[in-house]
Structure 1
Amino acid sequence: MLPEYGHFALILALVLALLQASLPLIGALTGNRALMATARSLAAGQFVFISLSFIVLCALFMQSDFSVVLVARHSNTLLPDIFKFSAVWGNHEGSLLLWVWILSLWSVAVALFSRQLPLDMVARVLSVMGMISIGFLLFSLLTSNPFARQLFNVPAEGADLNPLLQDFGLVIHPPMLYVGYVGFSVAFAFAIAALSSGRLDTAWARWSRPWTNIAWAFLTVGIALGSWWAYYELGWGGWWFWDPVENASFMPWIIGTALIHSLAATEKRGVFNSWTVLLAIIAFSLSLLGTFLVRSGVLTSVHSFAADPERGMFILIFLFLVVGGSLTLYALRAPTVASRSHFAWLSREFFLLINNVLLLVAMLTVLFGTLFPLLMDAMGMGKYSVGPPYFNAVFVPIMALLFVFMGIGPSARWKKTSALYLRGQLLTAALVSVACGLLFPLLLGESYSVAAALAVCFSLWLILSMVVDIREKTRNAVNLVAGLKRLTRAYYGMVLGHVGMAICALGVCLTSQYSVERDLRMQPGDIAEMAGYQFEFKGSKKIQGPNYAGERGLINVLQNGELIAELKPEKRRYFAQQGQVMTEADIDAGLMRDLYVAMGEPLANDAWAVRLHYKPFVRWMWLGGLIMAFGAVLAALDKRYRLKATANNKRAADSAAALSIG
């Protein structure tokens, strides 16, 4: 009966979602405070029942209940417990339930941490989130039931989890990614609530901003974790960049980046109101588009779920309703509540606008590269592939231009800035950046790389511009420490975000330019030299795992005759999954470089095909991502977002109530 309990809990959650979508909205439209007050309790109730359903599914996997179709297809009695747990979302139906649960978690978080908001605004926001929940709960119950049973011919053993997914990366990567993906629903709900109520002022931006920052931070970590997982798991030393499904999460991240900057301008100066709302709509729409691409079967990728056309059509209809409905509301309401603030072409607002436009164009280039093969195939014009050459030729120059404006923006003043002032502030930083960029390839002693020189130049420019801005903001303080204490968490978050972006870009470019790779045949006693390191193959031995058997190699890494690492790559053959063979690389990781070894196929005379990689600065990609995410969280924790009863907040609430047309 346990699967039936989980299924029934989902049905009850759908009933509560229907109530959450309707009752608070009716209350907001009629001014009925009792109906508006139901929003929080309905969100909490929906969270409880979806959590119960999710716990039941976890229990079914842990118990290896193969009468449940999903468990039989994606688990096995020999599967380690940690992978039984992560197998819950290592498939379409379970990952969709995880998505729905995270959506309910965001809803209850808004309900709990929005006591300072006007009641009718909370009602509208939670009503929109209830509408989104209805769509996904219907999707789960009608097309993707995770509790479907096979009561006859129950198998004695399950088919096992895909060996690619039997990794710690599955435990942490999808939940982090989904929290970010789904988190943009909060920004979307605030935007729709603001449009519907006529409150497109600075108050809604202040309410929405911390939620958007947190969602963006989780999405950043999720993308970084996915890159790291692909790097060590796929066995070829890449981070799987520009894969179509990875692009599906990268596009909301790009627009989310534009959104958090636009929200800052709306909150500070009351500008870009309509533009900010549009970005919130686009960000969540891209999250839904990513869901369609992953679950419809239109893309072929190790990241995508095999799905039937019925599921793809359901998501497509839902995407059309959400995007079409929100854009229709935007077209009707945005012109009537557009901002009327003015600013000079040389001002912080102007540079934020330029950055937003560049980010939007960058997203469109990724969108085009991702969808172009699908469109050509759908029109019967043949099979096309869009890969790194296109993205490197189009996307990279846009990002380089973005870095230029990102460095200028923080030093510019609101409303109007003097060109002489900016030159005095930033000229030295620009000259130092160019000089260091030109010299850097020479210091490495390698062939000169123009791409590396440009990467160092732009990244250092971004970092030094932050140093200049900090110096300017602490100039009149008694001492540096006192000046630093005076700066807000939101400001430090912005600094960390920009520095993290620079470090990440530097890691991507330098590891691409200076990586060394060798494929060779090695038998016991052979020594290969690469990038100043010696790799000695000592042989291999048989190993036995809980659900696999294989061979483990031993390769000693020496530098100047001194042993610095023992690497033990593996070749595994899994008992289930038709004896699928997997490569498990081993890595000697460091801040400045990785030494990466993977075993290929066994050859004659105890020899193996071995792949060696020298990956300089590769860790900087993920370090930069973590720094950016920490900056976003720090900005969201700024104390002004936690004040509940200040005079400013009271005035904002009174003003919002007066503006409401609901």
Structure 2
Amino acid sequence: MIAEYGQLALTVALVLSLALAVLPLYGSIKQHSSALQLGHPLAYAMFVLTAFSFWALSYSFYQDDFTIAYVAANSNSLLPWYYKLTAVWGGHEGSMLLWVLILSGWIAAVALFSRSLPLVLQGRILGVMGWIALGFYVFVLMMSNPFASTLPYYPADGRDLNPLLQDFGMIIHPPMLYMGYVGFAVSFAFAISALIGGRFDSTWARWARPWTLAAWMFLTLGIMLGSWWAYNELGWGGWWFWDPVENASFMPWLVGTALIHSLAVTEKRGTFKSWTVLLAIAAFSLSLLGAFLVRSGVLVSVHSFASDPSRGLYLLAFLLVIVGGSLLLYGLRMQSVRSQARYELFSREVMLWGNNVFLLTAMVVVFLGTLFPLVHKELGLGSISIGEPFFNQLFYYLVIPFALLLGLGPWVRWKQQQAATLIKPLSLVLIAALVLALGTMAALQSVQANLALMGLLLGAWVGASALFELLKRLQQFGSVGVGLGKLSASHYGMTLAHIGFAVLVVGVAMTKTYSEDIQVRMQPGQTAELAGYQFRLVEVYELNGPNYGGEAAEIDVSYQGNYVTHLHAEKRFYPVQRTVMTEAAVDARLSRDLYVALGESLGDNAWALSLYVKPFVRWIWLGGLLMALGGLIALLDRRYRRPVKEKELADA
């Protein structure tokens, strides 16, 4: 019975989304205050009903209610309870319910935290988000209903959750990723509401920027968690594969990063207006494109959901309506978003514009590399593959100028900067970067490794620049101690995010350069050596889990005769889905990972093992975490909580 209540709640939420789409926008046009004020209760009620519907589906999984087709397809009575809850979003229908839950949550948050904005602007924003929500509620109920019944004939047990998803990373990865994807709907709604009103200024940018920061922060965490999950779960020893579905999340992140910086220019200088609007539209449009690619069946990926073409067609049509409608409105309102501010060639505006160009170029590279093989095949020209070498080569060329500008940008003033005044501080930064990079390479006794040297130089340049610039800013208040309490949270957040990027670049370069791996045949008692480490296979024995069987290997690792660690690797067999999965063993340190994956039995009590030594791979995820933390600190800036002034209300 709980499933019926869940579907009823979702149906009522659909009706409320229609009311939210119509009434506040009607009120903003007719200046009808009662209609405008309905936006808040509608947003709250829609979220509560969607949350109840999500709880009903979760409870059905927990109770093994196999009368629900989605539960029967994605769960099993032997599945541990925490994976039963993970299975709620482990398939298409449940993941879309999670999507609308998060969307309704963002709408409720906008209603709650935007009360200081003009009521008309609130109505426009909530109305635009109501239309977005309506499209997804229709999609869930009409084409992806998670409460569809198997009655009167229902299975005695379920088909189990995909073994790939039976991992801790999948408990938190999809919610974080969806928070980022859907969060860009708020930036989109702010942009469309500004276009509808015909006003786009620095005050608008200050209102929109924290929502964009929040979405970007969640998407950053989601991508990092996805990389960490793939590294641990797939047994390939890699952290990024340029998989089409990985690319689908990376594209809106690149545009979202450009949007954050563009909003900063619009807020500070009142320029880049049209560019900022287009970036807000593009960020959300690429999020929708990601949903289409994952759920349409056009991509083959371990991350994608099997889906029928009708669902993909609906999402494609929805994407075209969003993109086409927003660009049409932009064309009609183009005059209202033109910038009047002037700036010189050597200014912070130009530095940020240059970085935006590189970010958008990177997005285009990923876009073409992901979609061109699909278009090529659909045109009947045969199958082609664009893989890791293509992306890596082009990104090497893009990261170098991007990092150089990223290190230079914070030092440059708005509007105009005298280059001569920066010679001394930037020379110190450059010297520090060279000392750090060459010193590290010398310590590693590998000064000929070009990729590692370049990565260290770029990372040290960005990191040292961020720290030196922060120190200079603090000293402007008289002393560092006094400045610590006076510098804005946004500046601290920017500094930490730039340091995070530097850490990530160093991690990528060092891992790519110094990682080593071998595939070996081993019997218990035998030892294999890799990068100075000795891996000794102690034993292999049968494994009996709650819903799987298989084998487990115990490996001792030593270095130059000294014991280092013990590793436990598994090869699991899931009988319900007839699937074999590798559970890699990882000994994680800040400076390196030891990674072992157990392969097939080779007979005569011998086993295939994959051994990896991956220096600095943890720095990649540490860098992502630091960037996300920088976004969180920037969100704490007092100016985002400052009450709206009367002049700002009048201008809006």
Normalised TM-score (structure 2): 0.98
Residue 59 of structure 1 pairs with residue 76 of structure 2: no
Residue in 2 that maps onto 1:650: 646
SS across alignment from 2:549: strand
What are the within-5 Å matches in structure 2 for residues 429-440 of structure 1? 429-438=429-438, 440=440
Residue in 1 that maps onto 2:262: 262
CA shift, 1:551, in A, is 1.2
CA shift, 1:196, in A, is 0.5
Q: Which amino acid aligns with 1:85?
A: L
CA shift, 1:654, in A, is 1.8
SS across alignment from 1:569: strand
What are the within-5 Å matches in structure 2 for residues 151-550 of structure 1? 151-438=151-438, 440-446=440-446, 448-550=448-550
Q: Which amino acid aligns with 1:583?
A: T
> In the superposition, relative to structure 1, how do residues 540 and 447 fare at CA in structure 2: closer, same or farther (>3 Å)?
farther
Residue in 1 that maps onto 2:133: 133
Residue 610 of structure 1 pairs with residue 609 of structure 2: yes
Map Cα deviations across residues 419-470 of structure 1 (whole Å, 9 max, x no partner).
Answer: 1112232122124324543454343124721111110111110011112212
Residue in 1 that maps onto 2:95: 95
Residue in 2 that maps onto 1:633: 632
Map Cα deviations across residues 499-519 of structure 1 (whole Å, 9 max, x no partner).
Answer: 001111111121011001010
CA contact (8 A) 1:442 1:448 kept: no
Map Cα deviations across residues 217-250 of structure 1 (whole Å, 9 max, x no partner).
Answer: 0000000000000001001111133110000000
Map Cα deviations across residues 94-134 of structure 1 (whole Å, 9 max, x no partner).
Answer: 00010000000000000001111110111100001000001
Map Cα deviations across residues 159-206 of structure 1 (whole Å, 9 max, x no partner).
Answer: 101111111111100000000110000000000001101120111111
CA shift, 1:65, in A, is 0.9
CA contact (8 A) 1:69 1:150 kept: yes
SS across alignment from 2:603: coil
CA shift, 1:334, in A, is 2.4
Moved more, 432-441 or 375-384: 432-441
Q: Which amino acid aligns with 2:18?
A: L
Moved more, 293-302 or 389-398: 389-398
Mapped to 2, the partners of 1:64 and 1:198 lie a distance apart of 53
Aligned length: 652
Mapped to 1, the partners of 2:283 and 2:476 lie a distance apart of 40
SS across alignment from 2:333: helix
Mapped to 1, the partners of 2:176 and 2:351 lie a distance apart of 31
CA contact (8 A) 1:426 1:468 kept: no
Q: Which amino acid aligns with 1:353?
A: W
SS across alignment from 1:581: strand
Q: Which amino acid aligns with 1:650?
A: E
Mapped to 1, the partners of 2:202 and 2:432 lie a distance apart of 39
CA contact (8 A) 1:466 1:495 kept: yes
Q: Which amino acid aligns with 1:135?
A: G
Residue in 1 that maps onto 2:600: 601
CA shift, 1:400, in A, is 1.4
Mapped to 2, the partners of 1:474 and 1:44 lie a distance apart of 43
Mapped to 1, the partners of 2:537 and 2:337 lie a distance apart of 70
Q: Which amino acid aligns with 1:586?
A: A
Mapped to 2, the partners of 1:443 and 1:641 lie a distance apart of 45
Residue in 2 that maps onto 1:659: none
Tell me the percent identity: 53
Mapped to 1, the partners of 2:387 and 2:135 lie a distance apart of 33
CA shift, 1:268, in A, is 0.8
Mapped to 2, the partners of 1:150 and 1:378 lie a distance apart of 36
CA shift, 1:614, in A, is 0.1
Mapped to 1, the partners of 2:366 and 2:476 lie a distance apart of 45
Mapped to 1, the partners of 2:348 and 2:539 lie a distance apart of 61
CA contact (8 A) 2:458 2:505 kept: no
Residue in 2 that maps onto 1:6: 6
Mapped to 2, the partners of 1:17 and 1:206 lie a distance apart of 27
SS across alignment from 2:184: helix
CA shift, 1:395, in A, is 2.1
Residue in 2 that maps onto 1:581: 580
Map Cα deviations across residues 239-273 of structure 1 (whole Å, 9 max, x no partner).
Answer: 13311000000000000000000111111111111
Residue in 1 that maps onto 2:591: 592
SS across alignment from 1:474: helix
Map Cα deviations across residues 592-635 of structure 1 (whole Å, 9 max, x no partner).
Answer: 00000110011222211111100100000100000000100110
Moved more, 60-69 or 81-90: 60-69
What are the within-5 Å matches in structure 2 for residues 73-112 of structure 1? 73-112=73-112
Residue in 2 that maps onto 1:660: none
Mapped to 1, the partners of 2:106 and 2:587 lie a distance apart of 39
Q: Which amino acid aligns with 2:218?
A: F
CA shift, 1:8, in A, is 1.4
CA contact (8 A) 1:439 1:453 kept: no
Q: Which runs of 4+ in 1 moved over 4 A?
A: none
SS across alignment from 1:471: helix
SS across alignment from 2:634: helix
Mapped to 1, the partners of 2:84 and 2:459 lie a distance apart of 42
CA shift, 1:488, in A, is 0.9
Moved more, 54-63 or 283-292: 54-63
CA contact (8 A) 2:266 2:273 kept: yes
Q: Which amino acid aligns with 2:497?
A: G
Map Cα deviations across residues 552-581 of structure 1 (whole Å, 9 max, x no partner).
Answer: 111001123222211010111112102x11
Mapped to 2, the partners of 1:446 and 1:352 lie a distance apart of 35
CA contact (8 A) 2:438 2:447 kept: no
CA contact (8 A) 1:285 1:323 kept: yes
Normalised TM-score (structure 1): 0.97
Residue in 2 that maps onto 1:568: 568
Mapped to 1, the partners of 2:480 and 2:29 lie a distance apart of 53
CA contact (8 A) 1:593 1:615 kept: yes
CA contact (8 A) 1:497 1:632 kept: yes
CA shift, 1:392, in A, is 1.2
SS across alignment from 2:536: strand
Mapped to 2, the partners of 1:288 and 1:504 lie a distance apart of 27
Mapped to 1, the partners of 2:242 and 2:602 lie a distance apart of 33
Unaligned runs of 5+ in 2: none
Map Cα deviations across residues 462-497 of structure 1 (whole Å, 9 max, x no partner).
Answer: 011112212321233332211222211000000011
Residue in 1 that maps onto 2:558: 558
Mapped to 1, the partners of 2:538 and 2:8 lie a distance apart of 58
Q: Give me the CA root mean square deviation.
A: 1.2
Mapped to 2, the partners of 1:473 and 1:2 lie a distance apart of 58
